[in-house]
Amino acid sequence: MTFYARIAAASLILAAMGAAACSPEPEKREATSTPPAALSHPDIHAFRIGQIQAVALKDGEMAFPATNREMSPWSDTAEVSALLTASGQADGQIHLSIQPLLVRDGERVVLIDTGAGGQMGTEGKLLASLRAAGVEPGQVTDVLISHAHGDHVGGLAGKDGALTFPNAVVRMSAAEWEFAKAGAAEAGAAPLLAAITPRVQTFAPGAQVTPSIKAVPLAGHTPGHSGYEIVSGTERLLYIGDAMHSSLVSVQRPELVNGWDSDGAPGVTTRQGLLNRGASESLRVYGVHFPFPGVGRFQRRDDGFVWVPES
Ligand SMILES: [Zn+2]
């Protein structure tokens, strides 16, 4: 089963579950030059990386029962359930948020990943969140894709096939683009692929993709999966994509193979490397699926690690 088919199956399951709780549409605001840091809205979180302004943009939520072996990516459901219980999460569900990241890199308006586009049982809040941050879709200059799963590329085009960010270059690693093209037809994603093809520019692993953002290859999840490191002066933030999904399971049990990874063993190595580097450097990390807004650090605790969100 290809990644597209796997995610498509997951999306159907999640949609059938009605996993996403309904929430009111965020209030729309007119585009404004007001810095995002001055804005207040429940679905956005503005913060700085040195001189750079960044905004976490809520797109939606996914949830699935940890004990369901068809839905959970971790086969040892008893162990995962025990971890959730020990962490005070009584509902037995794995909760994953989706929050693409907006980065104002000089004149560039950069969006990292595009959410699920309202698929996979999610609310599809991204555009409302983007506008709440004072940005219209046409102002986005660069879309950086971590990988070609539906909850990251689903927001690239609308249901009518029109590009959501018509003026943006869509950047992803060359390996990921090849992977996307190979799996698109089977996944029913040919229209999306056709829509973005003229806008796609690929890069090599580790490339500098904008003046302040460098691609960071994070092996295991998909063939060209890429994180992004944003640097300003002495400050930095690492967007980890789907190298980790759960701020509990992926962080506290990184050695558990994730069934959503296309290559399990490198996925484990990547997680362990991120945790060691993150804790050693007190690296600021952005988890696109961690609890909103997804900004925090890894810390060593006992023989392992924990996620410590920024307050
Ligand atoms: Zn994902």
Q: What CATH number does the domain containing 190 carry?
A: 3.60.15.10
Identify the domain containing residue 10 by its residue range: 3-19+43-309
Secondary structure of the chain as H, E, C letters: CCHHHHHHHHHHHHHHHCCCCCCCCCCCCCCCCCCHHHCCCCCEEEEEECCEEEEEECCEEEEEECCCCCCCCCCCHHHHHHHHHHCCCCCCEEEEEECCEEEEECCEEEEECCCCCCCCCCCCCHHHHHHHCCCCHHHCCEEECCCCCHHHHHHHECCCCCECCCCCEEEEEHHHHHHHHHHCCCCCCHHHHHHHHHHEEEECCCCEEECCEEEEECCCCCCCCEEEEEEECCEEEEECHHHCCCCCHHHHCCCCCCCCCCCHHHHHHHHHHHHHHHHHHCCEEECCCCCCCCEEEEEEECCEEEEEECC
71 in a domain, yes or no?
yes
205 in a domain, yes or no?
yes
91 in a domain, yes or no?
yes
100, 101, 104, 110: CA torsion to nearest 10: -40
95 in a domain, yes or no?
yes
Mean pLDDT over the full length of the chain: 88
Q: Which regions in the chain score pLDDT beneath 70?
A: 1-38
DSSP 157: B
CA 159, CA 144: separation in Å to the nearest integer?
A: 21
Angle at alpha carbon of residue 244, lines to 303 and 278, rounded to 5°: 55
Name every residue whose Cβ is closer than 8 Å to that of residue 82 and which is 6 or more positions away in sequence: none
CA–centroid distance, 191 to ligand 1, in Å, is 21
CA–centroid distance, 32 to ligand 1, in Å, is 30
CA–centroid distance, 242 to ligand 1, in Å, is 5
- The dihedrals phi and psi of 130, each to the nearest 5 degrees, come to -60, -45
CA–centroid distance, 149 to ligand 1, in Å, is 7
CA–centroid distance, 17 to ligand 1, in Å, is 18
- Taking only the tens place, the pLDDT of each residue in 186-228 is 888 899 999 999 999 999 999 999 999 999 999 999 999 999 9
CA–centroid distance, 101 to ligand 1, in Å, is 13
Residue 184: predicted pLDDT = 87
CA–centroid distance, 301 to ligand 1, in Å, is 26
Give Cα separations from 294 to 38, 61, 96, 252, 307 (angstroms).
19, 13, 11, 16, 10
Cis peptide before 293 (omega within 30 of 0): yes
31 in a domain, yes or no?
no
Q: Which helix (H) or strand (E) holds 82?
A: helix 77-86
CA–centroid distance, 61 to ligand 1, in Å, is 11
Residue 2: predicted pLDDT = 36
Residue 199 and residue 16 in contact, taking contact as beta carbons nearer than 8 Å: no
Residue 113: predicted pLDDT = 98
Q: What is the rounded end-to-end Cα distance, in angstroms, of the chain?
A: 40
CA–centroid distance, 151 to ligand 1, in Å, is 5
37 in a domain, yes or no?
no
- Total domain count, the chain: 1
- Taking only the tens place, the pLDDT of each residue in 8-40 is 433 332 222 222 222 333 333 333 344 444 578
CA–centroid distance, 96 to ligand 1, in Å, is 9
Question: Considering just the CA atoms, what is the radius of gyration of the chain in Å?
Answer: 18
- The dihedrals phi and psi of 157, each to the nearest 5 degrees, come to -140, 150
CA–centroid distance, 50 to ligand 1, in Å, is 27
CA–centroid distance, 122 to ligand 1, in Å, is 12
Q: Which residue, 190, 271, 192, is CA-closest to 225?
A: 271
Burial of 182 (0-12, 13-18, 19+ CB in 10 A): middle
CA 214, CA 116: separation in Å to the nearest integer?
A: 24
User: In 10 A of CB 156, how many CB atoms?
Assistant: 25
CA–centroid distance, 33 to ligand 1, in Å, is 31
CA–centroid distance, 243 to ligand 1, in Å, is 9
CA–centroid distance, 289 to ligand 1, in Å, is 7
CA–centroid distance, 184 to ligand 1, in Å, is 17
Residue 121: predicted pLDDT = 80
26 in a domain, yes or no?
no
211 in a domain, yes or no?
yes
